[in-house]
């Protein structure tokens, strides 16, 4: 827990990766990058892909990690359904540029290549929290929040 708090403080002080934060009580990536994010927010248009790379060192092996993406509007979460292959983050886990999938390997840095197609059904929001999670048996095992504006 101390390491997570220290990492969050260091990132806040350095101003790097300010567009993302760890989710409380859940394994967080050690870094997140995205071409649609800079400073403190991400900006995407309807019809555009929201993509990024989160570096994660899982603490145990996971056989499956389903995707849950939630946009918080006025404090209320709206789940954004994902079609295959983006409905399972195992399809987006890479190490050294090679798809490794699941089961995950504990304590080894793995790239989670996040991808969200922002369809016309996605609500438009200004500076809202968007949560990306990997779930095993309905329990969040890895999670990151980003601040994003989604515009028409």
Coil, helix or strand for 98?
A: strand
Per-residue pLDDT of the chain (152 residues; tens, 9 = 90+): 434 333 333 333 334 457 999 999 999 999 999 999 988 899 999 988 889 999 999 999 999 999 999 999 988 999 988 888 889 999 999 999 999 999 999 999 999 999 888 888 888 899 999 999 999 999 999 999 999 999 98
Domains in the chain, start-ordered, CATH in brackets?
2-151 (2.60.40.770)
Q: Tell me the C-alpha distance between 67 and 90, whole Å.
A: 9
Q: Identify any residues that bridge with 55 across adjacent strands, giving them in sequence order.
A: 31, 111
Nearest CA to 31 out of 58, 11, 13, 49 is that of 11
The CA distance from 99 to 23, in Å, is 25
* Angle of CA points 67, 71, 73, to nearest 5°: 160
């Amino acid at each position: 827990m101390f390491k997570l708090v220290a990492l969050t403080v260091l990132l806040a002080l350095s101003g790097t990766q300010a567009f993302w934060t760890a989710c409380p009580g859940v394994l967080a990536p050690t870094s997140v990058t995205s071409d649609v994010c800079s400073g403190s927010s991400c900006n995407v248009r309807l019809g555009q892909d929201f993509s990024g790379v989160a570096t994660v060192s899982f603490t145990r092996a996971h056989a499956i990690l389903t995707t849950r993406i939630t946009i918080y509007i006025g404090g209320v979460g709206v789940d954004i359904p994902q079609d295959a292959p983006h409905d399972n983050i195992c399809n987006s886990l890479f190490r050294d540029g090679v798809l490794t999938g699941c089961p995950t390997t504990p304590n080894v840095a793995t790239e989670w290549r996040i991808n969200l197609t922002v369809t016309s059904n996605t609500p438009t929001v200004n500076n809202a929290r968007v949560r990306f999670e990997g779930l095993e048996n309905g329990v969040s095992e890895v999670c990151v929040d980003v601040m994003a504006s989604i515009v028409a």
